Homo-oligomer: A and B are copies of this chain.
């Protein structure tokens, strides 16, 4: 590359981009780790985007109608941090750049949502950002249709590399975005032909332009170091009615000795090579020093966004007070006031009617009363709408022809769905829930973990939550998944026993602000076990006494979901033999274990025999059975030890010994 020619052609642009490159070199060198090559390769694209297009306001990083910038290639975090520092975000002073990858810094190895205002989303696990962006863009489409372009009208810009595009999740995102014609979504593909192991061609020869075009995208290929081409491509992308992909041919680690090599992907810390690269850029200041004029030019790029922000604010203020409040409420992730009374009314009716109903159906019934009062919900399913019971009559289906629709047919794309849900929640103004079979949390894990890590209150509606699904067999029967999800930090796993607990779980899920929820729901019908109405949300305690012992308390049975019915039957049998038996329903173990000790002790006092019943593996139950004032010698578990099988549900429960008879036998054996 002839850097001098580039520099001469666009001197101001060049120095602004050089600032990103120099800061990247300095920060990676100081940390002695990180990824230099991507920021150095994509600096020109970022500079044109921020200078001429991206509407952002460093003084109001969370302004609702800002354009979103998503660094899907999260290892290039210094690109983002440099931009946030250069444009003047308060949370990213130079000190943060100097402390890149150090304990307590906002400038973590990969961008971490919540570490500092200006980071839209946590990225690093490849492919997530591009899939998140589909959620961002869908949320924007729905809100634009709902509120009008005066209030919502912005773009979502993404930078993705070969890694993002090789990950399967990218195909799910590309397919969904193409079908949905998300015109405000623009992806820059950092087409540098380099991965960690070598040239891209050692693992992939896909023509990415053709691949995106096959799914209905607008595609362009440009020289990613030519500001004029970058500018023209962005203008064309914004004008097109389809989602746009701009393949930017770039040189990884531009101007460095490691340019165009795998080595350039990683940490470039050699002092002499850094010096040479900076010289090639015409960068003469010391480490972490950005010339005042360059810094001023960068800060000036924010002016367009500041003006847009002010104009937007004026338009918002023309809305009625009620509309303003409603907009602010939804954007703030606050549940409507009516939610609590709606849930209470539902619970009362469910307790009184005491129907036998599958909790997946209970969930649908709850949604039928919630969705009309929470216009910010966006529901969907990975092609199992009728099985997950996720669609309610009022929602409308989101399509290119119906932008106010709030139900998404995600297709058979669990991972893409979960990542899109994260994007919707992070966009703001949206409460996303989506369904698939519980077993296929396996496919969505990558994004579900990020919900937990980011504290995104997405709601995963996971039906068919055990061998109780029957004939589909072990590929579809979760056994380890409840323990797996409980092992995941900051994830609330709800497994309600009936309609009442299902309503309570939904209330908690929809009022959560920093925790995702998983609702594990049955395929099979379950009796109503909460036949006495309480206004109190008992699920909010995680576990509670559903039926207490009569006479001396000798046994405590603890169960969740479909197994609470079994526990109650076992209690009847034990009580009939004069054995005082308490039944604890534990719809959310995570929440229970977070209660104060007095509460936990009341539910699980020391002394009695404990038998836990759940149609899954034992692992997460060990703490309930043996910790929490328990005793290994007086504890038993009735559940699964291995994978399930294909047969009718009732046969499976019998064959695997998850029966009231077995519970009774286990309890008596320990007495």
* Per-residue contact bits, chain A 474-501, to B (CB 8 Å; 1 contact, 0 not): 1110011001101111100000000000
User: Is residue A37 contacting chain B, with contact meaning CB distance below 8 A?
Assistant: no
Q: Which residue of B lies closest to A181 (CB)?
A: B205
Instruction: Return chain B residues, CB-CB under 8 Å to A410.
Output: 203
User: Is residue A285 contacting chain B, with contact meaning CB distance below 8 A?
Assistant: no
Whole-angstrom CA separation of A409 from B162 in the bound complex: 14
User: Is residue A279 contacting chain B, with contact meaning CB distance below 8 A?
Assistant: no
User: Is residue A626 contacting chain B, with contact meaning CB distance below 8 A?
Assistant: yes
Determine which of B198, B445, B620 lies in contact with A619 in the assembled complex, contact meaning CB atoms within 8 Å: B620
Determine which of B178, B196, B473 lies in contact with A109 in the assembled complex, contact meaning CB atoms within 8 Å: B473
CB within 8 Å for A168 and B171 given contacts A453-B474, A473-B109, A619-B487: yes
* Per-residue contact bits, chain A 394-422, to B (CB 8 Å; 1 contact, 0 not): 00010100000000011111111000000
Asked whether, in the complex, the Cβ of B383 is within 8 Å of the Cβ of A163, the reply is yes
CB within 8 Å for A475 and B168 given contacts A216-B205, A632-B630: no
User: Is residue A224 contacting chain B, with contact meaning CB distance below 8 A?
Assistant: no
Whole-angstrom CA separation of A655 from B104 in the bound complex: 10
Instruction: Return chain B residues, CB-CB under 8 Å to A176.
Output: 203-204
Whole-angstrom CA separation of A412 from B620 in the bound complex: 32
- One complex includes copies of this chain to the number of 2
Asked whether, in the complex, the Cβ of A442 is within 8 Å of the Cβ of B446, the reply is yes
Asked whether, in the complex, the Cβ of A647 is within 8 Å of the Cβ of B443, the reply is no
Instruction: Return chain B residues, CB-CB under 8 Å to A210.
Output: 210, 213-214
Output the least CB separation between A383 and chain B (Å). Answer: 5
Whole-angstrom CA separation of A110 from B647 in the bound complex: 11
User: Is residue A464 contacting chain B, with contact meaning CB distance below 8 A?
Assistant: no
* A595-650 interface with B by 8 A CB criterion: 617, 619-620, 622-623, 626-632, 641-643, 645-648
Output the least CB separation between A472 and chain B (Å). Answer: 4
* Per-residue contact bits, chain A 188-226, to B (CB 8 Å; 1 contact, 0 not): 000000011110011111111011011110000000000
In the complex, identify which listed stretch (A120-128, A132-140, A312-320) lies at the interface while the others stay far away: A120-128
Asked whether, in the complex, the Cβ of A489 is within 8 Å of the Cβ of B215, the reply is no
User: Is residue A253 contacting chain B, with contact meaning CB distance below 8 A?
Assistant: no
Q: Which residues of A contact B (CB under 8 A)?
A: 31, 33-34, 74, 101-105, 108-110, 112, 122-127, 162-164, 166-172, 175-176, 178-179, 195-198, 201-208, 210-211, 213-216, 381, 383-387, 397, 399, 409-416, 439-440, 442-443, 445-446, 449-450, 452-453, 470-476, 479-480, 483-484, 486-490, 617, 619-620, 622-623, 626-632, 641-643, 645-648, 651-652, 655
**What are 29 contact pairs spanning A and B, CB under 8 A?**
A33-B470, A33-B471, A101-B471, A101-B646, A103-B647, A103-B648, A110-B473, A110-B476, A112-B474, A123-B475, A124-B472, A125-B475, A166-B172, A167-B413, A167-B443, A168-B169, A175-B203, A175-B204, A176-B204, A197-B384, A202-B397, A204-B215, A207-B215, A214-B214, A480-B488, A484-B488, A619-B620, A622-B622, A631-B632
